[in-house]
């Protein structure tokens, strides 16, 4: 098989959760560019409508569904509807997620549980829903959007780090349990990505200097910049394609080299 065919996603149905905008949208756009039919969900109809319009602007026909991915019955109903209206899901990207930046001793158990529910339980629920049809079809790709917090801790993100660390291990367990059915489950661990959510951390200060956190990230990243959502597209296409058929249970960190770098010596 030649490389062009190896990386093609023609005739594949790809479900990207929470992909109305941001990282999920960028990944879905890359998968569509490789030939995949895009399906996505969001929690509100208005977000789904905005997503469909955004895909249309890019020349992509996408199928959007309203679904809370923490609700197992709703997810099962959505997957059944997708299979009926679009086709069996060949590629699942568990992208939907939230973060609450609260010091641990100030964080309520309710807030902690909500982050775990969206960032860890939901990928379990959606993966569980698509795996039976992948087994029947004889192949499948699951890509979990992990994080550098799958490896590291940091102030105010105890729930997020716990969830993303758990998602790394769920990734490895799905690979272990279903690899014999030609299902590959891998993760992508984005570094610090320039999105609307991180914009306040990159704002120029009143004195013209960079935000302190912006300075910190630039100093820790060998690439010398924040990542762009589009930087995740190539890795996603690779992990969704036949080119990665013997890659399973791995986390591909797309972080500009942060994890390889000890940092500069203070001057």
Give the Cα separation of 169 and 146 in Å (integer).
10
What's the Cα-to-Cα distance from 117 to each of 59, 120, 168, 263, rounded to whole Å? 34, 6, 15, 34
State the alpha helices, DSSP H only, in the chain. 3-6, 22-33, 45-57, 72-85, 109-116, 122-137, 158-178, 212-220, 233-240
Give the Cα separation of 105 and 82 in Å (integer).
42
Q: Among this protein's residues, is 160 annotated catalytic?
A: yes
Q: Are 137 and 88 contacting, i.e. CB atoms less than 8 angstroms apart?
A: yes
Give the Cα separation of 27 and 238 in Å (integer).
11
Residue tagged active-site, from 55, 63, 65, 160 = 160
Token look-up 């001793």 returns 105
Q: How many CB atoms lie within 10 A of CB 243?
A: 16
Token pair listed for 192: 């610090």
Token pair listed for 70: 């923490």
Which secondary-structure segment (H or E) carries 40?
strand 37-42
- Give catalytic residues, as residue numbers: 160
């Amino acid at each position: 098989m030649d490389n062009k065919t190896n990386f093609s996603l023609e005739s594949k149905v790809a479900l990207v959760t929470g992909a109305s905008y941001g990282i999920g949208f960028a990944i879905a756009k890359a998968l569509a560019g490789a030939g995949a039919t895009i399906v996505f969900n969001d929690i509100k109809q208005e977000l789904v409508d905005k997503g469909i319009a955004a895909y249309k602007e890019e020349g992509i026909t996408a199928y959007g569904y309203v679904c809370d991915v923490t609700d197992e019955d709703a997810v099962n109903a959505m997957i059944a509807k997708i299979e009926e209206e679009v086709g069996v899901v060949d590629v699942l990207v568990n992208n939907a997620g939230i973060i609450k930046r609260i010091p641990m001793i100030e964080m309520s158990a309710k807030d902690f549980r909500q982050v775990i529910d969206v960032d860890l339980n939901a990928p379990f629920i959606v993966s569980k829903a698509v795996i039976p049809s992948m087994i029947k079809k004889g192949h499948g790709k699951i890509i979990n959007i992990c994080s550098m917090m799958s490896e590291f801790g940091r102030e105010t993100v105890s729930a997020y780090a716990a969830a993303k660390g758990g998602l790394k291990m769920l990734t490895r367990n799905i690979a272990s349990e279903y690899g014999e059915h030609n299902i590959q489950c891998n993760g992508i661990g984005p570094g610090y990505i320039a999105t609307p959510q991180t914009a306040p951390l990159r704002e120029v200060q009143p004195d013209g200097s960079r935000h302190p956190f912006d300075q910190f990230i630039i100093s820790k990243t060998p690439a010398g910049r924040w990542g762009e959502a589009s930087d995740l597209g190539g890795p996603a296409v690779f992990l969704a394609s036949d080119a990665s058929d013997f890659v399973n249970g791995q986390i591909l960190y797309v972080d500009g080299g942060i994890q390889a770098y000890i940092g500069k010596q203070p001057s």
